Structure 1
Amino acid sequence: MTDRPLHTQEQLRRLVQPDSIAVVGASPKPGSFGKRTLDNLASFGGRVCAVNPKYQQIDAVPCYPSLDAIPQVPDCVVLCVASDAVVSMVESCADLGVGGVIIYASGFAEMPGEEGALAQARLAEISRSTGLRIAGPNCAGLLNFGTGALMHFIGGLAPGEMVHGPVGLVSQSGGIGYGILQAMDRGIGFSHFFAVGNSCDVDACDLMNYMLDDPGTSVIVTFLEGLESGARLRELGRRALEKNKPIVICKTGQSDQSHAAIRSHTGAVVGSIEAYLALFEETGLIHVDSVEGMTEIAQFLSKAPPPGMGGLGVMTTSGGLAVMAVDKADYAGVDLPQLSEQCQSALRALVPSFGMVGNPLDITAAAQGDPTLFRDCIAALCNEPGFAVLLIAVPYAQKIVAEQRAHLICEAARGSSIPIVVAWMNEALDCPAARIYENDENVVLFRSMTRAMEAIRAWKWREALRVKSLERWMARLSPPEAFDVVRPMLEDAVRDGRALSERESKSVLRAYGVETTQDRFAASRFEAVQAAEAIGFPVVLKVESTDILHKTDAGLVILGLENPEAVAEAFDSVMARTREAFPDARVQGAVVQAMVPPGVEIIVGAKYEPALGQVLMFGLGGVFVELMKDLAFALAPVAPDQVVAKLTELKGAALLRGYRGTPAVDLDVLANQIARISEFVADAEDLVAELDVNPIFARGDGAIAVDAVIIPYVAANEQAQGRTHA
């Protein structure tokens, strides 16, 4: 994991906000990257110069034969040169004391083979050793709309057509980023656009961190394919909460192809997207499934004040849209509170008798010919104390009426204490009325009611998380010396290239204060009987082998042994079955453990996800984990109150509350146990690849772990290469 700190705004200033720019490889040739770059810098207020030994001047821009011939060292250098010339040019920039370099050229680590990867590694080393900030290689440019430093090679984006505004944009795909940037055609303004490319040095997290400290940026949208460091993304999210600047992320690359090399229940369920979503949820990063509508939610978040305690009010002139709003709000988890008596009385005096006074409010098509009705109903709803936001769903309207209504809504928004959003529910996607909404400083237009509801949910959710996160002090539950106690056992397993046995795994958990079943090891049938008599009948007997992790599936667990004879027979039977089914497995003996009263079966697992760390998984256990996958995810460590909140959101939460006469589970005790497990995997991040605790029997009087397995990195790697027997 790359765990360097985030680059600060000061470290990135000369790259992102340069006073002087040099374009190396500049050319007067139309369509060339050098010519386009110079054209795009036409409105830049600082110094611009070109570097090309063939010319003394290009379009009134002074041109020099080399970088060291420029009278003053430029802050930023844009390299419009072939890949084989990049490394030497970057070395020259570092020697001269240049602040930042932008590299357009491809042909580095994104290509197969070692040559490109080695060249990119050299660029990274130059950056680390000199402090030179590098954007790219394979980078489509950095654009600062506030200063006019539009350092990119894309044509067709005339500087005079750029719209400066509060939305910052970062994309790991230049093409998708420029597509999002075309929202400027609808009047949406941007503060910066960064197309990060291969990120040998400066990456998406660094650039978002820069904008967190930029007063001209109030919300950030990001298209993300992947990152080397989840730790920095986590820190970025926490900073964004502290700065109260929302970050909206579209994370692509959600399929996971590593399941074939996984042998624990957790590994079969947890993939990259679960890890990212857990990180987003913890840090308040707002995840969206597609790039469509990203600018709409960004506009809403940039314009809306922090949400109050109320819910959503809805107004429309269509009964069908009123019903749709109820469905969409329910699906998104947005509250539609009932109207107060005072508001109902005011609306009944306004709305025709055939209208529907409630939330949603249907004022009917009578509003077509009565602008006053429309205006007065909005005013009544904006004064409803139970509302934090008002959504107006707009169906078909004649052109003149639509424009008139748009002006009324925008006027109402200027005097409203709550934000107003418009769901544009017709196919007149580019018309004067829509333009009125999009160019207004207070109203936000959504071309989808679904996206409007999702934006409102995210707005409310993030603020609640921000307040709670800033208030929470996450006290450690487990003993501070716990990891020192268990580390030798983990390191032994790493050296031996094996998983921890069930007994070893449960001893690790006990060191962290997790309650587990009482068990004893038996190397023979005689010792098995002795162990059972010491524990007390009835007991369970299971094989002890670090090569056989799912013993129940293989028939190597026998329950309910009531007497010594049954234990002796079970020992012989389990050993025989093991030899037949797993002839090459390393078998240490058997484990005899106490039978515990049944309860709701809970699984707790963890999996190390590269770049993100330990991802915790918990939910209904036993066979249900693979049948139902009713699971919650979080990054370790996790606090007990977070666990309780996630448990109560499970589809099978009724089983935890008590179902058809079964006693309720003590959620606080269960959450405490899960939080302690999360502290272990967080402590052991550099040693543990996977963990399964399945099941925990949760009851009204406690929660006890019955089975557990811990798989270190080396054991997981050997298993993936086919060298283990499980």
Structure 2
Amino acid sequence: MTSNQRNSALSEALFNPARVALIGVSSNPKKNTARPLRFSRQHGCEVVLYPINHSQSEVLGEQAWSSVNTCPTPVDHAFVMVSSDLIMGQLEACAQAGVKVVTVYSDGFGEAGPEGQQKQNELLAKARELGLRVIGPNSIGLANLQTGLIMSVNAVFEAPDLIAGSVSLVSQSGSMMGSLLSRAAARGLGFAKTISVGNESDVSVGEIVDVLVDDDSTKVILLFLETIRDAPCLASALARARAAGKPVIAYKLGRSEQGDALAQSHTGALAGNDKAVDAFLKAHGVLRVRQLETLFEIIPLATTYRRPIVSGNRSVRVAVITTTGGGAATVVDNLGLESVEAVAPPQSFIDHMQARGLNLRPVPVMDLTLAGTSEQYQDLLEQLLECDWCDAVLSVVGSSAQFHPELAVKPITRARKSEQKPLVVFLAPEALASLQVLQQAGIAAFRTPESCAQALALFFEPPHQPPPERKSVVWPVGLPSKGTLSEYQSGQVFASLGVKLAPQMLVQHADEVTLDYPVVAKISSADILHKTEVNGVKVGLADANALANAMTEIANSVREFKPNAKLDGYLVQTMQPKLIELLLGYRRDPLVGPTVLLGAGGVAAELMPDVSIRLAPVTLEQAWQMIEEVTVTQVVRGYRNLPRGDCQALAQTIVAFSQLACYDEPSISEAEINPLFVQNDGVVAVDGLVSLVES
């Protein structure tokens, strides 16, 4: 069976099954396990449902079967709502009934600790033996609002009316799925498919996204993520979504250490670096929002317009038109925080509008509160959408949006739109009716200035490119294949990739050194990662006598602080000039795989989180982007006529260093060059470390 055939089979059984078994459905309408049958009937389910209850022949007025394998016809999908200790027997019965996908509502598995994880492993092994695909366990279920199939216990489906639409939601949190659906419904936003993946033991978020890419009723995909599992599968699905023109918008927990810890405890997932996750999502075209509000409100923006590329390093320019000066100011203030500029109309445009009967001033907010009719407002909007001095148009509506929705938004909905230039709206008051009018017109409307500014900035943010194809490189002969390497050994790895090192020698005695003075002397040991903490570094040594004395001092200090460390000798390096110090880092992130980091270097690197991250390896173009994103590099890029550094050599060094991702055996877990000196005619690594993955 081909990949496409597998996807098609999973898709049909997952969201479009012809026959569904509800195993463990209750006859008590107040119980959670009665909800899937109640909800499906309430919303006109077109799918054949088989209630399964081992002790009752009738459930909620419908015939019930004692077991799924006693149903009169083969079953495509089973929703299992029995206690975890009864799951194994149900899997056997499902296989006998022809079930292809089993969604397990039952909890007490991977999220419950080591014993639960063992139960989950056994469940998955059994399912694979029987040829079943598993959603969950610990999944609150799924829904297809096109067919009325509500195979979910989420209380949100108690709503008397559900809006079928073109948005599909994949959530790693079952309870948040309901919250997201209710928030979206308040805006008149309709859904096509929704699914809670639970513990994601088998069918992953990536596989579901892949299914939704091929779903004709899905135009945009929302993700609520607590972690990332199976990054390669998700990356492939996101690439297909991007190629198909289906926007993927994500809210990912874990921006703070506490948030990351909570997500881990909830999902039983590994910890990852949030900046690495951010780089992964950007590399695959995902719009990652920081606020739940933005998750919904950005949808019309993402689906109506193709994300533009703003040329050069200039700011995104937004023309702001309003009937409430104070409300507009709140958005403009937040636009500034997002590096988006509210721009004043040029004199040529002011003259153009004056000829059309409207007087404007050369200020960033065009306020029509006191001067201007509804028709003039509409005309100004249309002229702004056609001009070439702004990238987007923002309309800020005042209190009339609350009490006169049609009047307030009429000029916006009636205005002739541009296919290239985005039009967005911020409603200063709480105005649900106006929000819904704009939503129905396909216009992105926002309830908060923060969400509005964030959405505009995110929409115009240039997406990263995915990493290029890896080309395997050969591990240097004679180096260890496990553990942590010494600085000298690490330098051999870097040099083999094309990274320039400071001239250096590994010696036992000062009289062995043939380098030019002055020099630096360091203790060489894989057991001592931070040499300065044991006074293991001496700089500015002018001659052999100074070097010999320094070696004695280093040896005495190391014996005091690290008496059991295995010592290789002394690494002696020629002192190097510098314009700035940078840090180059590499990490095999447990969630998204190899990443490379560029940031401010030296001993204070951890205190100044001025960094740029990409998936590794990187291209030369991506390396240049990283350089431009790190603020401190401005010092060597022509800032205030300071000496320019060799940024071309820096970009090439980043590319070479990122090839650490290309070692298959041994695999590198972490590596660092700190500091990397940027000079006026090159860059040079003066300290570094490599740690290998323990096999």
Q: TM-score, normalised by structure 1?
A: 0.86
Shift of 1:384: 1.6
Distance in 2 of aligned mates of 1:7 and 1:573: 67
Instruction: Give the partner amino acid of 2:78.
Output: V
The structure with higher relative contact order (CA 8 Å, sep 6+) is 1
Shift of 1:307: 4.0
- Does residue 494 of structure 2 align to residue 509 of structure 1? yes
- Does residue 456 of structure 2 align to residue 465 of structure 1? no
Shift of 1:68: 1.8
Distance 1:34 1:626, change over 3 A: closer
Distance in 2 of aligned mates of 1:345 and 1:157: 55
Distance 1:357 1:6, change over 3 A: farther
Shift of 1:625: 0.7
Partner residue, 1:677:
657
Partner residue, 1:91:
92
Partner residue, 2:161:
161
Match of 1:537, SS?
coil
Distance 1:48 1:529, change over 3 A: same
Distance in 2 of aligned mates of 1:382 and 1:552: 59
Equivalence map 1:1-400=2 (5 Å): 8-42=7-41, 43-59=44-60, 61-114=62-115, 116-155=116-155, 157-158=157-158, 161-182=161-182, 183-256=184-257, 272-307=273-308, 311-336=317-342, 339=345, 343-349=349-355, 353=359, 356-357=361-362, 359-367=364-372, 370-397=373-400
Partner residue, 1:499:
484
Partner residue, 2:671:
691
Q: Are the equivalent residues in 2 in contact too, given 1:543–1:591 (CA < 8 A)?
A: yes
Instruction: Give the partner amino acid of 1:505.
Output: S
Instruction: Give the partner amino acid of 2:423.
Output: I
Distance in 2 of aligned mates of 1:6 and 1:236: 15
Residues 549-585 of structure 1 show CA distances to partners (whole Å, capped at 9, x for unaligned) of 2223432222222222222222222212221222111
Distance 1:650 1:104, change over 3 A: same
Q: TM-score, normalised by structure 2?
A: 0.90
Distance in 1 of aligned mates of 2:528 and 2:103: 53
Q: Are the equivalent residues in 1 in contact too, given 2:204–2:230 (CA < 8 A)?
A: no
Distance in 2 of aligned mates of 1:174 and 1:258: 17
Q: Are the equivalent residues in 1 in contact too, given 2:92–2:130 (CA < 8 A)?
A: no
Distance 1:188 1:624, change over 3 A: same
Q: Are the equivalent residues in 2 in contact too, given 1:6–1:209 (CA < 8 A)?
A: no
Match of 1:15, SS?
helix
Distance in 1 of aligned mates of 2:56 and 2:401: 59
Distance in 2 of aligned mates of 1:17 and 1:690: 45
Q: Are the equivalent residues in 2 in contact too, given 1:250–1:288 (CA < 8 A)?
A: yes
Distance 1:685 1:36, change over 3 A: farther
Distance in 1 of aligned mates of 2:135 and 2:273: 26
Partner residue, 2:479:
489
Q: Are the equivalent residues in 2 in contact too, given 1:52–1:65 (CA < 8 A)?
A: yes
Partner residue, 1:587:
567
Partner residue, 1:267:
none
Shift of 1:607: 2.4
Distance in 2 of aligned mates of 1:475 and 1:98: 39
Q: Are the equivalent residues in 2 in contact too, given 1:18–1:149 (CA < 8 A)?
A: no
Distance 1:597 1:6, change over 3 A: farther
Distance in 1 of aligned mates of 2:130 and 2:680: 61
Instruction: Give the partner amino acid of 1:198.
Output: N
Distance in 1 of aligned mates of 2:587 and 2:650: 20
Distance 1:683 1:234, change over 3 A: farther
Distance 1:669 1:351, change over 3 A: farther
Match of 1:292, SS?
helix
Distance in 2 of aligned mates of 1:174 and 1:475: 36
Partner residue, 1:425:
428
Partner residue, 1:411:
414
Shift of 1:441: 2.9
CA RMSD of the aligned region, Å? 2.9
Q: Are the equivalent residues in 1 in contact too, given 2:135–2:201 (CA < 8 A)?
A: yes
Equivalence map 1:435-584=2 (5 Å): 435-438=436-439, 440-461=440-461, 464-465=462-463, 474=468, 482-485=473-476, 489-491=479-481, 494=482, 498-523=483-508, 525=509, 528-531=510-513, 534-584=514-564
Q: Are the equivalent residues in 2 in contact too, given 1:49–1:61 (CA < 8 A)?
A: no
Q: Are the equivalent residues in 2 in contact too, given 1:413–1:420 (CA < 8 A)?
A: no
Distance 1:334 1:128, change over 3 A: farther
Match of 2:474, SS?
helix
Shift of 1:144: 1.1
Shift of 1:457: 2.2
Shift of 1:511: 0.8
Match of 2:511, SS?
helix
Q: Are the equivalent residues in 2 in contact too, given 1:602–1:620 (CA < 8 A)?
A: yes
Segment drifting more, 689-698 vs 7-16: 7-16
Match of 1:536, SS?
coil
Distance in 2 of aligned mates of 1:320 and 1:232: 47
Segment drifting more, 103-112 vs 549-558: 549-558
Residues 390-420 of structure 1 show CA distances to partners (whole Å, capped at 9, x for unaligned) of 2101122276654313122111156876442
Partner residue, 1:707:
687
Residues 512-552 of structure 1 show CA distances to partners (whole Å, capped at 9, x for unaligned) of 111112211212x2xx2222xx2222222211111112223
Distance in 2 of aligned mates of 1:36 and 1:304: 39
Shift of 1:694: 0.9
Shift of 1:621: 0.6
Distance 1:156 1:693, change over 3 A: closer
Instruction: Give the partner amino acid of 2:381.
Output: I
Q: Are the equivalent residues in 2 in contact too, given 1:663–1:699 (CA < 8 A)?
A: no
Instruction: Give the partner amino acid of 2:452.
Output: A
Shift of 1:19: 1.2
What residue ranges of structure 1 are gaps of 5+ in the alignment? 260-269, 716-726
Distance in 1 of aligned mates of 2:605 and 2:55: 68
Match of 1:455, SS?
helix
Match of 1:569, SS?
helix
Match of 1:648, SS?
helix
Instruction: Give the partner amino acid of 1:483.
Output: V
Q: Are the equivalent residues in 2 in contact too, given 1:482–1:511 (CA < 8 A)?
A: no
Distance in 1 of aligned mates of 2:39 and 2:302: 30
Distance in 1 of aligned mates of 2:159 and 2:608: 54
Instruction: Give the partner amino acid of 1:507.
Output: Q
Q: Are the equivalent residues in 1 in contact too, given 2:401–2:427 (CA < 8 A)?
A: no
Segment drifting more, 324-333 vs 372-381: 324-333
Partner residue, 2:268:
none
Q: Are the equivalent residues in 2 in contact too, given 1:414–1:442 (CA < 8 A)?
A: no
Residues 339-364 of structure 1 show CA distances to partners (whole Å, capped at 9, x for unaligned) of 465532232245665x5355432223
Q: Are the equivalent residues in 2 in contact too, given 1:538–1:561 (CA < 8 A)?
A: yes
Alignment counterpart, residue 619 of structure 1, candidates 596, 599, 604: 599
Match of 2:388, SS?
coil
Distance in 2 of aligned mates of 1:327 and 1:596: 45
Segment drifting more, 294-303 vs 328-337: 328-337
